[in-house]
């Protein structure tokens, strides 16, 4: 059912004649699908763009526009989509709802492909074509003007067709269903707090809620830090606590809900490097460059702060079977004894040459525990240096050791290249807040990525080792 994956208020009905949109609106009401009606005018569209999943769009807006004036038609509909859509991709479906669908649809599609209208990168996933004439009867008066009357009973036919079309794209359906699951989990989380507030009947619910919100904030920030922070800081602490609570509700919705949709279009993994890098970056990297003290902040390093050449060299496999060794031997073939270069010299040349073309970029990552950052308990920020290494150089690397961290492949947008993050835990060091503020932040690593790095750091620091006396 459509209500399974359109229930987050992300459906828009755009038609300048309300009576013609009314049957769709009534059907959406019956299906309990939240939606917003707009006549297409600027004042009826959101002040800020929003995430939309389904748009019922009339192509006959503003009938005063000459149907032959294609430029005006495109300008009008492009301005509506640009004002409406926060979507930065094809994550929505347009249901074309028009009396002249056949003649106007080609103009609408050509508008989407025209770079001048800024919609090329976010064309709809699908365009479902519907002709109003199949659902309205046309009546002409003596002056030749036409009026349209909804044909009773065609609501079921209309929505069966829409559901059929949407079911053809299982990926869209499952992702939209996940959106609905998140909304339900959020609602249940809020409801559980109200339920707790009602438990103590000696005080008013408002007072109990204030107590719950305060306690949740303190649980994240700590009592001492809670007293020192302003209202916004305390609120941030409460929001972080809620994010932990909603995780539990999401898990329950996924595991216990028997009404879940099922995805069947499984395919073999795409092993293309570019695809893997893009996907990993979406999962593991946030583009947020604010708050340099935030755990997971990745900075461009000052090359003079650490011996990055040595760090680079010690990350390479220089054994007799290593790629660097084999290439060094090839270079030395035919050279005299005094002309041959050592493996260390070869790696230093690799470092210099690849640094110049952004294949090797020294970095530092802030690994200070998040609880210390939130509760303002840190005295110094703990960072581990390393570098971004272009994936073309991956075969030179040592297999992972307890002192090194090697990340999955990542696409780094600012450089438009694919990299691996290499860290050396032996270089762990600290900076003050003022020193941290002078670093150049590139992006932030997501929590699960940081957790993995921190876990391996703790294993390195706490390893027992073997004494050789």
pLDDT one-digit tens code per residue, 43-71 = 888 888 888 888 999 888 875 556 567 88
Average pLDDT over residues 125-140: 80
Q: Give dist(CA 384, CA 381) in Å, integer.
A: 10
- What pLDDT is attached to residue 13? 92
458 vs 149: which has the higher pLDDT: 458
Q: Give dist(CA 56, CA 77) in Å, integer.
A: 13
DSSP designation for 16:
S
Q: Which two tokens stand for residue 52?
A: 């939309």
Confidence of residue 300 (pLDDT cuts 50, 70, 90): very high
Q: In 3-state terms, the chain is what percent helix, strand and coil (to 5)?
A: 50, 20, 35
Average pLDDT over residues 418-435: 91
Average pLDDT over residues 121-142: 81
Average pLDDT over residues 312-317: 86
Q: Provide φ and ψ at 36, rounded to 5°.
A: -130, 135
Q: Give dist(CA 208, CA 212) in Å, integer.
A: 6
Going along the chain from its start, the domains and CATH numbers come out as 2-168 (3.40.50.2300), 176-256 (no CATH), 273-462 (no CATH)
Average pLDDT over residues 305-321: 85
Q: Is the pLDDT of residue 469 over 70?
A: no
Q: How many CB atoms lie within 10 A of CB 302?
A: 14
- Three-class secondary structure of residue 421 per DSSP: strand
What residues contact 423, with CB distance under 8 A and at least 6 apart? 365, 384, 385, 386, 404, 405, 453
Looking at every residue in the chain, the average pLDDT score rounds to: 84
Assign residue 304 a region (left: φ > 0; alpha: ψ between -120 and 50; beta: otherwise). alpha
Q: Give dist(CA 162, CA 336) in Å, integer.
A: 77
Q: Is the pLDDT of residue 412 over 70?
A: yes
- What pLDDT is attached to residue 347? 85
Instruction: Kindly report, residue by residue over 156-196, the tens digit of the pLDDT.
Output: 777 777 777 777 788 888 888 888 888 888 888 999 888 88
Residue 441's beta-bridge partner residues? Answer: 299
pTM summary value: 0.71
Decide: residue 256, CB within 10 A, 0-12 exposed, 13-18 middle, 19+ buried.
exposed
- Three-class secondary structure of residue 404 per DSSP: strand
Average pLDDT over residues 65-78: 79
What number of helices (H) and strands (E) belong to the chain?
Answer: 15, 16
Instruction: Kindly report, residue by residue over 238-275, the tens digit of the pLDDT.
Output: 998 888 888 888 888 888 776 777 888 888 877 788 88
Average pLDDT over residues 220-249: 87
Confidence of residue 422 (pLDDT cuts 50, 70, 90): very high
Q: CB–CB of 80/36 below 8 Å? A: no
| Nearest residue to 424 (alpha-carbon basis) of 452, 442, 390, 401 | 401
């Amino acid at each position: 059912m459509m209500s399974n994956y359109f229930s987050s208020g992300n459906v828009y009905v755009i038609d300048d004649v309300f009576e013609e949109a009314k049957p769709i609106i009534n059907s959406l009401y019956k299906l309990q699908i939240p939606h917003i009606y707009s006549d297409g005018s600027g004042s009826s569209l959101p002040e800020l763009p929003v995430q939309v999943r389904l748009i019922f769009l009339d192509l006959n807006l503003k009938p005063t526009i000459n149907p032959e004036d294609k430029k005006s038609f495109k300008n009008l509909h492009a301005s509506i989509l640009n004002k409406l859509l926060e979507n930065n991709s094809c994550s929505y479906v347009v249901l074309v709802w028009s009396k002249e669908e056949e003649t106007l649809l080609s103009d609408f599609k050509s508008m989407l492909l025209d770079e001048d209208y800024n919609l090329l990168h976010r064309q709809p996933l699908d365009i479902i074509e519907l002709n109003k004439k199949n659902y309205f009867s046309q009546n002409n008066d003596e002056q030749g003007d036409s009026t349209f009357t909804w044909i009773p009973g065609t609501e079921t036919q209309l929505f069966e067709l829409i559901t059929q079309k949407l079911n053809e794209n299982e990926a869209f359906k499952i992702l939209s269903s996940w959106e609905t699951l998140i909304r339900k989990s959020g609602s249940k989380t809020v409801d559980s707090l109200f339920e707790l507030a009602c438990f103590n009947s000696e005080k008013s619910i408002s007072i109990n809620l204030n107590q719950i919100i305060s306690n949740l904030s303190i649980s994240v920030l700590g009592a001492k830090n809670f007293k020192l922070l302003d209202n916004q800081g305390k609120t941030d602490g409460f929001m972080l606590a809620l994010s932990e609570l909603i995780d539990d509700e999401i898990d329950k919705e996924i595991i216990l809900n028997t009404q879940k949709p099922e995805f069947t279009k499984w395919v073999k993994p795409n092993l293309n490097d570019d695809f893997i890098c893009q996907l990993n970056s979406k999962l593991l990297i946030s583009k947020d460059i604010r708050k340099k003290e935030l755990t997971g902040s990745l900075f461009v390093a000052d090359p003079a702060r650490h011996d990055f050449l040595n760090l680079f060299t010690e990350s390479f496999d220089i054994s007799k079977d290593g790629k660097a060794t084999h290439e060094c031997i090839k270079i030395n073939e035919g050279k005299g004894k005094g002309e041959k270069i050592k493996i260390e010299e070869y790696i230093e040349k690799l470092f210099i040459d690849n640094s110049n073309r952004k294949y090797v970029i020294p970095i530092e990552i802030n690994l200070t525990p998040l609880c210390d950052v939130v509760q303002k308990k840190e005295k110094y920020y703990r960072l581990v240096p390393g570098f971004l290494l272009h994936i073309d150089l991956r075969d030179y690397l040592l297999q992972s050791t307890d002192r090194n961290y090697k990340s999955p492949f990542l696409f780094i947008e600012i450089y438009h290249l694919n990299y691996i993050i290499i860290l050396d835990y032996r270089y762990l060091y600290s900076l003050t807040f003022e020193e941290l503020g002078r670093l150049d932040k590139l992006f932030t690593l997501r929590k699960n990525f940081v957790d993995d790095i921190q876990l391996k750091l703790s294993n390195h620091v706490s390893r027992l080792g073997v004494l050789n006396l």
